[in-house]
Amino acid sequence: MDNRLILVVGPGRSGTSLGTGMLEALGARVPEPRVAADDSNPRGFYEPRWVVEFHTSLLRAVGVHVGDAQPSAWSRAAEIGRDDEPRRRLEKWLRREFRRADHVAVKDPRLLWFLPLWERAASPVAGTRYLTMLRHPAEVVTSQQRHYVRWDDNNRVAGWLNTMLFTERATRGSTRALVPYDDLLEDPPAVLQAVCARLDLALVERARLPNMQAVDRLVDPALRRSRATWESMEVDRRLVEMAEEAWDLLTKLAAAGAEPPAALSADLDHLRRSYVDLYGFAESLTQSTRWTAQRSTNLATRLANRWAPDQPPLTLRSALGKGLRWMRRRISSADRARGPAGQQR
């Protein structure tokens, strides 16, 4: 099969837009229409609107956030990914895209939650390849905090660990390339040649002068200026140590080529389990907070029923539903104020 589906997977602000932009400059198709560019990404996000909406609806259905730090989020996302209905929709969309090109690149920070679904949907149409950009977690988190809705620094770092470590596991054994963001900025032709060789893409082979010029134009010297350190954030020491270890292992993995040593995979597995344990510990520590939140919800339900006796009795389920609808309305109005849909992360 000559068709190639290149899934650019990684958390937002890790350089996935640059990576996808370069694939497009070399001749890959990035489906249209796309999420519009904004100040946080003036050259564009390279995210097809259809894909963003598709993923957003799936994530909503399972209650997973794009940068979710919960290890259990993976099994919830996987469950919906096993359904035939989304698989059929995705396959139909992919077939339409591959009628226009034989190399299609898809990027969306939500994509990493549904890799098995994409692989199943693509299998009759194209060979799937994975491209992951590696950018230091302190830089990713600093950039996320600047451009996205602000979460706690600790949660952002935990989200980076959760998404990177599980994405590594999900793509292990597949045809993949891990690309350090800085390397791509410093020397795009050398990196793109290596990526195309690794992923068996015909893009470099076919590239002409306008393609190479387009690649060069994507390198904005300003992109190199964002140098963040842990000192600029308030992150727990254990998380910093874990993030540094993950960064070190992933960097080694990127350099190791197509067949990394088994010991490296074992170290990544060990680190992933350590993260799951740490998250479990944090959950156990906050059990009282969850109990209070649960109790508040129950209290609100009882009060609502007392104040509106003529309405049907409010159950916990319907109270949550009302709350969710209220939150969606808030988010929608915030989105409208901010610009195109799908930008809030």
Partner 1 sequence: VIRRRDLSNLEGLHQFDVRWHDGDPAHGMLTAVVRVKNEATSMPWVLPGLLRATDSVVVADNGSDDGTPDIAQEVAEAMGGRDRLRVVRYPFEVSRCGPEHLATPPTSVHSLTYFYNWSFSHVRTSYCLKWDGDMVLTEDGERSLDHLRWQLEGVQAIIHIPRYPVYVESPDVAYVDTQVVNREPWGWPNEAEYRHGKGFEWEVPIWPETVRSVRLPEWTCFELKWLDADEFQHWSTTDFGTNLRTRRKAREWEVFHALQQSQLPAGVRRVESPGALHVIDRLREADADTAIGR
Contact residues for partner 1, defined by CB under 8 A: 186-190, 192-193, 204-209, 212-213, 215-217, 221
Q: How far, in Å, CA of 17 to CA of 106, rounded? A: 10
Instruction: Decide whether 58 or 207 has the Cβ nearer to partner 1.
Output: 207
CB 202 within 8 A of CB 129: no
Question: What phi-psi label fits residue 127: left (phi over 0), alpha (psi between -120 and 50 degrees) or beta?
Answer: beta
Q: How far, in Å, CA of 106 to CA of 46, rounded? A: 8
DSSP alpha helices (H): ranges in the chain?
Answer: 16-26, 49-62, 73-81, 84-98, 115-122, 137-147, 153-171, 181-186, 188-199, 203-206, 209-217, 237-256, 262-285, 287-307, 316-338
β-pairing verdict for 127-134 and 176-180: parallel
- As measured in angstroms, the least distance from the Cβ of 65 to partner 1 is 38
- As measured in angstroms, the least distance from the Cβ of 195 to partner 1 is 12
Instruction: Decide whether 210 or 323 has the Cβ nearer to partner 1.
Output: 210
In this structure, the chain runs to a length of 345
Q: How far, in Å, CA of 13 to CA of 146, rounded? A: 10
Instruction: Decide whether 216 or 248 has the Cβ nearer to partner 1.
Output: 216
Instruction: Decide whether 158 or 207 has the Cβ nearer to partner 1.
Output: 207
Q: How far, in Å, CA of 51 to CA of 31, rounded? A: 9
- As measured in angstroms, the least distance from the Cβ of 340 to partner 1 is 24
3-state SS assignment for residue 80: helix
Paired residues of 105 in beta bridges: 6
- As measured in angstroms, the least distance from the Cβ of 208 to partner 1 is 6
Instruction: Decide whether 205 or 241 has the Cβ nearer to partner 1.
Output: 205
- As measured in angstroms, the least distance from the Cβ of 179 to partner 1 is 16
Instruction: Decide whether 197 or 293 has the Cβ nearer to partner 1.
Output: 197
CB 341 within 8 A of CB 335: yes
- As measured in angstroms, the least distance from the Cβ of 126 to partner 1 is 22
- As measured in angstroms, the least distance from the Cβ of 26 to partner 1 is 10
CB 126 within 8 A of CB 98: yes
Helices and strands in the chain, H and E counts: 15, 4
Instruction: Decide whether 217 or 227 has the Cβ nearer to partner 1.
Output: 217
